[in-house]
Structure 1
C-alpha cells in the first residue's frame, strides 16, 4: 500500500496536500543527473555548471518545472531540496556535510534525498527562536520547541515553486507565532497550510522519497 493512502491532516482535506515525488516526474537519466548536481552543490557550496551534453539535459529537466532552475548565466544554484547559497534552514547530514535548504519542507526532505539521518537548525520566522529537529531512521526523534508549526504553500496550484513558494515555507515555534505572522503578512488561508511538524514531515516524504 502506498503510504499516501494512510495520510491524514488534522485541519485539511488530504487531497489538497497530496503530491507525487519529484523523482517520479523524471527519467532514470534525469534523476541520476539531478543527484549528481545535488551532491556537487552540497559538497562544494557552489552552483553547478552543466557542460557539454549536460546543458541540454538540464534544460530538459528545467522545462518540467519544480525540480531545478537554470539561471541566465547557465548555472544551477538551486535544485530541490538544496541550494548553493547560505539560507536560514541548515541541515547537518550524518556524514558531516552541511546542506542549506530553500524552505522548511526541503530541510526535512534531506533525510530522504541523502538517505541519511539529519539535524535541522532553523529559526521561528515570527520570534527568531531557534528551531532544532533531529531525524533518525526516517523518523523525527527530537525537536524543540515542543509545538513547532510549519507554513506550507499550496504546491498543487503553483506553476513555479521557486517564485511562488520556496522562501515562504517556514518554521514557527507555536501556533500563536504562526497566527501572528499570518496576520502581519496577510497570508491567504485558502492557499497556505499550517501543519504540525509530523504533517510537514509527511509532505517532505511525498516530495523527496524517490521510491515511494
Structure 2
C-alpha cells in the first residue's frame, strides 16, 4: 500500500497526520510531496493541505471538491473539525483499500483477471481476431466450430445454444445496459461496467461509455479522450460483487458489475444485498481495474495492441 501526503510547505498538520498513519499502518512507507501552486495541486489531486493519497486515491475527497493549496480540515464525526482524519477514519479508509486490493482482485481473478481472460497461444490468435472484429465491425467473425468450442470451454468466449458468440470479454454479442461508442463510429456493447472501462485502453482508442444506474435508470456517461476520462455525473461509482461460486464469468460475475450514479447509491445497493459480498470502487479504481484486466489482451503477441 502506497501512502502519499501532499501538503504546502511547513503545513502544521502534517505531523499529526503522520503520527496517526503510523499508528494505523506502522509498516506502510509514507512519502511526502510539497505542493505550493494551485496548478500543481490540481495535477496531483490535492484538495487542501494536508491531503492523503492511498494508492493514488484520496479516500476523503467529497463530490465537487476542488483542488486547493489552502488549509484542509476534516470533520471528526462529532460536529468538530481536525487537521487530519481521526484514527478510526484512517483505519476505515485503509481497510477499504485493502479490501479492494487484496480481497477483490484474487476473488475476481478466478473469473476475470488477465491470466484467465487471455487464451493460451494455440487459441490466442483466434481470440484476438474475434476481439478485433468486434472493435472494427461490431460483429464477431466466422470461425471454425472446433475453435469456437475450445474458446467457449476455456471461458474466453461464450456461445449460445445455436453456437453463436454471445460474449467475447469485454464485448457482448447481445445488447446490454453498457454501450460503448468507439472512435471511428463503431458501437458495441460491454458485458459489464468493468468490461466497458477496459475497452478503450485495450484498443488504444477514444470512446464514450453510456450506461445507467440499475436502481433508478439515471444516465451515466464516461468519456475517454486523449488519455483522460470524464465521468458524468462526477459522483458515479462502480459496484463489484465478489463471486462466491465457480462458473463462467458471463453467468456469475458480469451481471453484477454495475455503474451507479453516486457512491451513496452504490453503498445503499450493497447494504440492501448483504448476501452478496461487494466492494464499491471509485471512478479511478474502476478504471484501473478495467485497464489491468483487459489492456494486455491485444498487446500480448501484437506490435501495438490496436485492432
The answer to whether TM tops 0.5 is: yes
Secondary structure of the residue that 2:288 maps to in structure 1? helix
Distance 1:7 1:160, change over 3 A: farther
1:137-191 deviations in Å (ceiling 9; x for gaps): 4442x1111111101122586432111111211111112211333344x2435x2
Structure with the larger RCO, 1 or 2 (CA within 8 Å, 6+ apart): 1
2:75 is the alignment partner of 1:16: no
Give the Cα–Cα distance (whole angstroms) in 1 for the partners of residues 116 and 248 of structure 2: 17
TM-score by length of 2: 0.58
User: 1:173-184 alignment to 2 at 5 Å?
Assistant: 173-184=261-272
Q: CA RMSD in A?
A: 2.7
Give the Cα–Cα distance (whole angstroms) in 2 for the partners of residues 24 and 188 of structure 1: 27
The alpha-carbon deviation at position 44 of structure 1 amounts to 4.8
Q: Report how many residues are paired.
A: 200
User: 1:187-202 alignment to 2 at 5 Å?
Assistant: 187-188=274-275, 191-202=277-288
Give the Cα–Cα distance (whole angstroms) in 2 for the partners of residues 158 and 197 of structure 1: 27
Give the Cα–Cα distance (whole angstroms) in 1 for the partners of residues 160 and 142 of structure 2: 10
Equivalence for 2:152: 62
Distance 1:73 1:157, change over 3 A: same
CA contact (8 A) 2:263 2:282 kept: no
Secondary structure of the residue that 1:170 maps to in structure 2? strand
Equivalence for 1:85: 174
Equivalence for 2:259: 171
TM-score by length of 1: 0.81
Distance 1:99 1:38, change over 3 A: same
CA contact (8 A) 2:213 2:259 kept: yes
Which residue of the other structure, out of 34, 45, 48, is the alignment partner of 2:127?
34
CA contact (8 A) 1:119 1:135 kept: yes
The alpha-carbon deviation at position 50 of structure 1 amounts to 2.9
Give the Cα–Cα distance (whole angstroms) in 1 for the partners of residues 287 and 244 of structure 2: 17
CA contact (8 A) 1:111 1:138 kept: no
CA contact (8 A) 2:237 2:281 kept: yes
CA contact (8 A) 1:16 1:156 kept: no
Equivalence for 1:205: 291
> Considering only CA atoms, is the larger Rg found in Structure 1 or Structure 2?
2
User: 1:48-59 alignment to 2 at 5 Å?
Assistant: 48-51=141-144, 55-59=145-149
Distance 1:42 1:25, change over 3 A: closer
Gaps of 5+ in 1: 1-5
Equivalence for 1:3: none
